[in-house]
C-alpha cells in the first residue's frame, strides 16, 4: 500500500492542455494527504461504480447527465452508510436531555465553590451520572467527527478533477486518467462544465457562460432554501419548552439566518460538480430531518405532541419504553404505574418535621396530663416557708398578717 502511494506521488505530471489554470499536482504526500488517501480512494470507487452502471445502461461515458447521476449516487451511498451513526447521535442527544435536570442539580450543589476539593467532587458526581445513563457529551459529537473525513474525501475528490485532468493524471484509485478527462469534459445540459465555478465563468466568459452562471445561481438559492428549511424544522417543531428558554436557543435562531449565507461562498468559488454534491446532500439532510422529527421527535416538543395525536387517532399510544402499543394496553400500563406509585407513597415512612427547642418544650407541656407534676416526687416535697406556696383557705393577699398562736 505504501509503495503504491509513493509511486503515485513520485510520478511527474505533464500538462495536457496548452495553458493549465491550476497548479501542478504535488509530487509528494504530506501528512494530511496521507490521512485523506483511503477516504478519497473509497469515494472514487463509489463514483466509478455508479458511472459503470449508468454506462452499462446505455448512457454516454462523457455525458454531463451520466456524471451528475454518478454524483447523486455517491451521495446516496455515503449518506446511507452514515445513517447508523446519525441514529446513534440522536440517541445520545436524547440521553443528554434526560439527565439535564440531574446535571443542573449537581451544578447547583457546587455553585460558588471554587476550591479544588469541590471541583473534584463535582467532576466525580458528573462522571458517575454519565456512567449511570451510558452517555457522555463526546458521544453525541462522535458520529459527526467520524463523518467529517468521508465528507472531506468527497469534496476533495470532486474538487481535484479539474487539476488532475489538466495535468494528465488520474485520482488516487479507480478514477484513472481517462475517466478523469471524461469528467472534465462533461457538461450539464450540454452547456455547463462540471469543473467550472461561478467566478471562473464570469471572469473567463467561455462559450455558454451565461447558462453556467444561471444554473449555479439557481443551485445556490436552492441550497440556501433547503438549509433554512432544515434548521427551521428543528427550532420550530423539535425543541422542548425548556430548550427554548436558554442562550443556546437564541444562538440557534441567529444561526438560522447566518448559516445558509455560507453557501453563497461555496456557490461562488466551488466547481459545479461540488455544488451539485452539496445541494444533493442538503436535500438528503432535509428529508432525513423531516423523517426524524416525524417519527423520533424530542420529548415534550410540538412534534412529539403531534405524533401522539396521530397515534391516538389510530387507537395507539407510546408506552414507558417508547414502543407503540394499543391504547388499551397503554391505559392499563398507566393505571398500573399509578397504583404502584400510590402504594409506594403509603409505605414510605413519614418524614418527621424538625422542631426547635422552644417549640418542642411547649409541645411536651401541652401533651402532659394536667395532674402530672413537673418533676418526679415534687408532690411529696414539703413547701418551704416564704416560697409563696398556696395556703389552705386560699392564696395569701398582700397585707395579710401571719396568724398567731394565742394559747
For the record, the C-alpha cell of 312 comes out as 391516538
One domain, residues 28 and 177: yes
One domain, residues 180 and 215: no
Residue 349 lies in a domain: no
Residues 132-166: b if buried by 16+ CB within 10 A, e if exposed: eeebbeebbeebeeebeebbbbbbbbbbbbbbbbb
The closest of 135, 133, 182, 139 to 161, measured between CA atoms, is 182
One domain, residues 255 and 315: no
- The distance between the two most distant Cα atoms of the chain, rounded to a whole number of Å, is 156
One domain, residues 164 and 68: yes
Per-residue model confidence (pLDDT) at position 48 = 92
One domain, residues 296 and 227: yes
One domain, residues 214 and 314: no
Per-residue model confidence (pLDDT) at position 11 = 46
Residues of the chain with pLDDT under 50: 1-12, 375-407
Residue 130 lies in a domain: no
Contacting residues for 380 by C-beta, under 8 A, at least 6 apart:
none
Q: What gap in Å lies between CA 66 and CA 241, rounded to an integer?
A: 48
Residue 370 lies in a domain: no
Per-residue model confidence (pLDDT) at position 405 = 44
One domain, residues 227 and 287: yes
Counting runs of H as helices and runs of E as strands, what totals does the chain give? Answer: 17, 4
Per-residue model confidence (pLDDT) at position 261 = 76
- Alpha carbon 349 to chain centroid distance? 41
One domain, residues 150 and 45: yes
The residue range of the domain holding 74 is 1-13+21-99+135-185
One domain, residues 142 and 288: no
Per-residue model confidence (pLDDT) at position 218 = 92
One domain, residues 176 and 222: no
Domain count, the chain: 3
Per-residue model confidence (pLDDT) at position 50 = 94
Per-residue model confidence (pLDDT) at position 214 = 92
One domain, residues 154 and 257: no
Per-residue model confidence (pLDDT) at position 93 = 73
Check: pTM over 0.85? Answer yes or no: no
Residue 274 lies in a domain: yes
Amino acid at each position: 500500500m505504501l509503495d503504491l502511494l509513493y509511486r503515485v506521488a513520485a510520478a511527474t505530471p505533464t500538462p495536457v492542455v496548452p495553458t493549465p489554470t491550476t497548479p501542478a499536482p504535488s509530487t509528494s504526500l504530506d501528512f494530511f494527504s496521507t490521512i485523506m488517501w483511503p477516504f478519497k480512494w473509497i469515494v472514487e470507487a463509489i463514483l466509478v461504480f455508479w458511472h459503470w452502471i449508468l454506462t452499462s445502461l446505455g448512457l454516454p461515458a462523457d455525458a454531463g447527465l451520466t456524471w451528475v447521476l454518478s454524483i447523486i449516487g455517491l451521495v446516496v451511498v455515503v449518506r446511507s452508510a452514515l445513517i447508523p451513526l446519525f441514529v446513534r447521535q440522536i440517541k445520545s442527544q436524547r440521553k443528554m436531555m434526560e439527565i439535564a435536570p440531574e446535571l443542573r442539580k449537581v451544578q447547583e450543589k457546587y455553585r460558588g465553590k471554587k476550591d479544588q476539593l469541590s471541583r473534584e467532587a463535582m467532576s466525580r458526581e458528573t462522571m458517575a451520572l454519565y456512567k449511570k445513563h451510558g452517555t457522555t457529551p463526546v458521544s453525541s459529537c462522535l458520529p459527526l467527527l467520524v463523518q467529517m473525513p468521508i465528507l472531506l474525501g468527497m469534496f476533495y475528490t470532486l474538487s481535484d478533477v479539474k487539476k488532475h485532468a489538466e495535468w494528465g493524471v488520474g485520482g488516487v484509485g479507480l478514477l484513472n486518467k481517462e475517466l478523469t478527462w471524461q469528467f472534465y469534459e462533461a457538461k450539464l445540459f450540454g452547456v455547463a462544465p462540471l469543473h467550472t465555478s461561478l467566478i471562473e465563468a464570469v471572469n473567463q466568459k467561455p462559450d455558454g457562460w451565461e447558462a453556467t452562471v444561471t444554473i449555479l445561481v439557481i443551485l445556490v438559492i436552492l441550497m440556501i432554501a433547503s438549509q433554512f428549511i432544515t434548521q427551521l424544522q428543528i427550532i420550530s417543531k423539535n425543541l422542548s419548552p425548556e430548550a427554548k428558554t436558554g442562550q443556546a436557543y437564541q444562538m440557534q435562531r441567529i444561526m438560522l439566518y447566518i448559516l445558509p449565507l455560507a453557501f453563497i461562498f461555496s456557490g461562488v468559488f466551488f466547481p459545479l460538480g461540488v455544488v451539485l454534491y452539496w445541494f444533493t446532500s442538503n436535500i438528503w439532510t432535509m428529508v432525513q430531518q423531516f423523517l426524524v422529527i416525524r417519527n423520533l421527535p424530542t420529548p415534550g416538543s410540538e412534534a412529539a405532541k403531534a405524533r401522539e395525536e396521530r397515534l391516538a387517532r389510530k387507537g395507539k399510544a407510546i408506552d414507558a419504553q417508547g414502543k407503540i402499543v394499543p391504547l388499551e394496553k397503554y391505559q392499563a400500563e398507566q393505571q398500573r404505574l399509578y397504583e404502584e406509585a400510590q402504594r409506594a407513597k403509603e409505605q414510605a415512612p413519614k418524614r418527621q418535621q424538625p422542631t426547635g427547642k422552644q417549640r418542642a418544650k411547649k409541645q411536651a407541656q401541652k401533651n402532659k396530663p394536667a395532674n402530672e407534676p413537673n418533676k418526679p416526687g415534687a408532690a411529696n416535697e414539703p413547701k418551704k416557708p416564704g416560697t409563696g406556696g398556696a395556703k389552705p383557705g386560699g392564696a395569701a393577699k398582700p397585707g395579710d398578717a401571719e396568724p398567731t398562736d394565742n394559747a
